Amino acid sequence: MSTLTLAKALNEGMRKAMEDDPKVLIMGEDVGKLGGVFRVTDGLQKDFGEQRVIDTPLAESGIIGTAIGLALRGYRPVCEIQFDGFVFPAADQIITQLAKMPLRSLGKVRLPVVVRIPCGGGIGAVEHHSESPEAYFTHTSGLRVVACSNPADAYTMIQQAIRCDDPVVFFEPKRRYWEKAEVDTSAEPAGWPPFDQAQVVRQGTDLTVLAYGPMVKTCLEAAAAAEEDGRSLEVVDLRSLNPLDVARVTESVRKTGRCIVVHEAPVYNGFGAEVAARVTETCFYNLEAPVLRVGGPSTPYPPSRLEDHYLPDLDRVLDAVDRAFAF
């Protein structure tokens, strides 16, 4: 076991993938000599060379377009989008080419491309640097969309994403990059949690809290606070957003009878709306209250001095818990 930050766990996961497969490439803005603005790729260019860890121009559409061409020639590119809000110039390549090519070719062409996106707020940055664009990509058929929330998952999930023959959009909670936890770097892939499976990270009996990425830690803190009031909250880390592990979500909600969904993105038309609809469809006769959602307001991301008012926190999660129990 090693104690790693989430950023270091991602680094070690990519390093292991590059050691195992010479076709794995890292590419993006400042990922080489600088090691990325968050130092997630630190040291990889020094150890694997400029032909495998490639500093690209500031051109997100070009990064993804080039990765598609490389994947067509048998490589497994891992692209870093430097900040979440920078992904939109690449949306054309991701949505109209990367997601569509396997079906367009009737399965004859596979595009094993990973698009890494540091996501969310909480670091004192401005708009375009603190976005949560996951709903754009979960709505796009042909993409796998996943989100890690802790170092152990970061280490295994980035390797699973690289091994996957489907294109993967990989969200990384940037404000959790520096948080540490134990990571078993010696575990064999057969012992890793399945790539598309949700995980119950806290057992409970009274209410299910569904979250992913940066909000998992916040929800665990809320569950600990709720326990002091005699309420037992079960926290489920979704991990995979597309496909969604409906079976595990349903199992939890049928047990508890109440559910709230938490994410940083705006509530209106956010990914939580899909989750809430699925829970309502599959658990209607088990629910003691409506499924409630907690997220950001429908405004552009605010200046850094105001982001604490924008981001969901422990109190907003507990307020939703109170409302759920009021029915």
Residues annotated as catalytic are 129
**Average pLDDT in the 24-52 region?**
97
**Average pLDDT in the 203-217 region?**
98
Of the chain, the percentage scoring pLDDT greater than 90 comes to 97
Question: Average per-residue pLDDT in the chain?
Answer: 97
126 pLDDT higher than 90: no
**pLDDT level of residue 71 (50, 70, 90 thresholds):** very high
Q: What is the pLDDT of residues 249-303, one digit of tens each?
A: 999 999 999 999 999 999 999 999 999 999 999 999 999 999 999 999 999 999 9
Judged by DSSP in three states, 103 sits in helix
127 pLDDT higher than 90: no
Distance, in Å, from the CA atom of 187 to the CA atom of 225, rounded to the nearest integer, reads 33
Report the Cα–Cα distance between both ends of the chain, in Å, rounded. 45
**Average pLDDT in the 58-67 region?**
97
Domain spans, the chain: 2-191, 199-326
CATH code: domain 199-326 is 3.40.50.920
Helix-, strand-, coil-residue percentages of the chain, each rounded to 5? 40, 20, 40
Q: With respect to CATH, is domain 2-191 assigned 1.10.3720.10?
A: no
Q: Quick one: CA dihedral 262, 264, 268, 271, positive or negative?
A: negative
pTM: 0.96
